[in-house]
Structure 1
């Protein structure tokens, strides 16, 4: 992932005033509008949903029940979708202290989330939110909560299993920690918005470059990792469990939320009646209309074709965004070494 981001960042450069479609004043207005009207509200929502999830775990652990697990699952879904609607933003406070990875460590390497959860279940000392930051990023975020809620036998383990008390303790610690991280990001973003209000032209151009990079990155991640990864070369070669959030069935909805956010960002920059914006919306709508979970679709020829159509829509949206958005922000796109299709 770091290589992917570095390559994309290197491919977006500032080529002088002659290559810029946006004036400095227009570029500053664009950056501030994105920061205030697009990112800020999403971080507010992220914090509120993470806090609601932590509150749900606290209530559940006070009186565990099967209906209570349903409430936890709803809170988890809300948190995943709130995160997915803002996870295209990698610029700013979310990139500090490994916050991005602590929220959502994916793709998982060498089964690290499972090993992180196993360690939490095995330790003798209490698991508390204030100690989570010192642990592996793989043991801190949404993937841990997904396993607590959706692995085989998880519901029974939470309510009546021998480890129910420890699982509750872990769920509370992880969800409280996520609420804290979301609060730090929200507050850090508010401070960054204030800085952008008085920033010089060079700082604003740097911010615009990062925002353009982040937008193109989300298309690359969705197409190459979230779709191509599970698809493989055929239905026989598919890797269903390579889909993000396959346990909870949120692979498709999370992709749709990320693509929908990308479309809204492009609309803010380019205006709603723009070819690139229409392509972005088409991709988001295709994701929202998937006929089943990604992990099921990849195992059939018909489902695979449906996902390939979505992947092609994502690539078209990416290509059009790369041509339209950076110039509107006062930056320009050069050769992208990740292009090869």
Structure 2
């Protein structure tokens, strides 16, 4: 493949120079940003969320730079794909949240459009490329969420219709999407500069804390249940990240992140339960987290696993473990803390 790029791409990359500089400044801000310090019961959980938001923003900066570097000198995309995967993994700590700063929650669909039931991302991306227009990050931010975030970048990197190694339009579009994604990530990071729960009383905070965990867990479960469909009739194209075959990696990252929220550096729900004399329940919850993580399948592709009986059974087994974890948190832990958890958008799916 030739390393020569078109003059149009050179111009586009030159115009993006200021944006890259801004990205570097954002990285510096992420490195120096400090979480709000409060004496509120939520402080330890807030710190976990703050760190996750800062990490995600930093990863998007690296991804944006990786796209710019690649398009300036196209070649082996392995490093670029690795940067995308690391960014996707960092997003797993924030994915599925329905609790937290409103400004952050409003960016969820912009960062990731899923589930993509009708391959809307593929169709919209193909249409956008067919226009042959140079699109900036600012222009992209006003278009469909299907062409803005992590899924759109995955399509460019892994779908054969993209031809990023030889299609200069694909490369330029990737630079714009990655830049837009970083802008959204910075909004999320900025939203977490202050503790959104600092004014809640104890009862309200306990309810919010359990709901935070429950919502994320239920979202993760939906990432298995949707593709599994009915027994014998899986829907593998409903899998998250099916093009890159990293669905199972993502889910393991979800679990690790949720365990971190549960522990909250030794001052979270686990500590609260033990402090109240419910060490047995705390051990069961922690044990379920540890067991699910330790026994997580080695396979990376949920799409491939669902194509065989053995793979389907393995996926179902992991889903059942998450269901048990959900029951413990949503029912037993909530009861012990006298918290009532309502329904959310994933219930009944």
Q: In which range does the TM-score fall when normalised by the shorter chain?
A: 0.7 to 0.9
Tell me the equivalent position of 1:44: 54
**SS at 2:181's partner residue?**
helix
RMSD value, Cα: 2.7
SS in structure 2 at match of 1:159? coil
- SS across alignment from 1:333: coil
Q: Report the Cα offset of residue 123 of structure 1.
A: 3.1
SS at match of 1:127: coil
Say whether 1:91 aligns with 2:90. no
* SS of equivalent to 1:152: coil
Q: Does 1:58 align with 2:68?
A: yes
Question: Which has the larger displacement, 101-110 or 316-325?
Answer: 316-325
Segments of 5+ residues of structure 1 without an aligned counterpart are: 1-26
Aligned to 2:45: 34
Matched, 1:186 2:196: no
Cα deviation 1:268-299 (Å, max 9, x = unaligned): 32337632122122223333x34452111111
> Is 1:117 matched with 2:117?
no
- Cα deviation code 1:40-98 (max 9, x no counterpart): 11111101111100000000010111x2x111100010011000122243333465583
CA contact (8 A) 1:232 1:238 kept: yes
Matches within 5 A, 1:321-336: 321-323=329-331, 325-326=333-334, 332-333=339-340
| 209 and 132 in structure 1: CA distance in 2 versus 1, 3 angstrom threshold | farther
Provide the residue aligned with 1:13 in structure 2: none
Quote the residue 2:151 is aligned against: 143
Q: Which residue of 2 aligns with 1:310?
A: 318
Q: Does 1:255 align with 2:251?
A: yes
Pairing 1:173-212 to 2, within 5 Å after superposition: 173-190=176-193, 192-193=194-195, 196=197, 199-202=198-201, 206=204, 208-212=206-210
Partners of 2:186 and 2:231 lie apart in 1 by: 43
Aligned-partner Cα distance in 2 for 1:80–1:285: 21
1:232 aligns with 2:229: yes
Q: Which has the higher contact order (CA 8 A, sep 6+)?
A: 1
User: How has the CA–CA distance of structure 1 residues 98 and 332 changed in structure 2, closer, same or farther, with 3 Å as cutoff?
Assistant: same
8 Å contact from structure 2 (residues 113, 145) kept in 1: yes
Q: Specify whether residues 207 and 170 from structure 1 end up closer, same or farther in structure 2 by C-alpha distance, changes over 3 A only.
A: farther
Contact 1:259 1:284 in 2 (8 A): yes
Native 8 Å contact 1:112 1:138 kept in 2: yes
More helix by proportion, 1 or 2? Answer: 1
Take 2:120 and 2:347, find their aligned partners in 1: how far apart are those partners? 30
Change (3 A) 1:28 1:280: farther
Is the contact made by 2:111 and 2:149 (CA closer than 8 Å) also made in structure 1? yes
Aligned to 2:284: 275
Q: Which runs of 4+ in 1 moved over 4 A?
A: 94-97, 204-208, 324-328, 334-341
Contact 2:97 2:215 in 1 (8 A): no
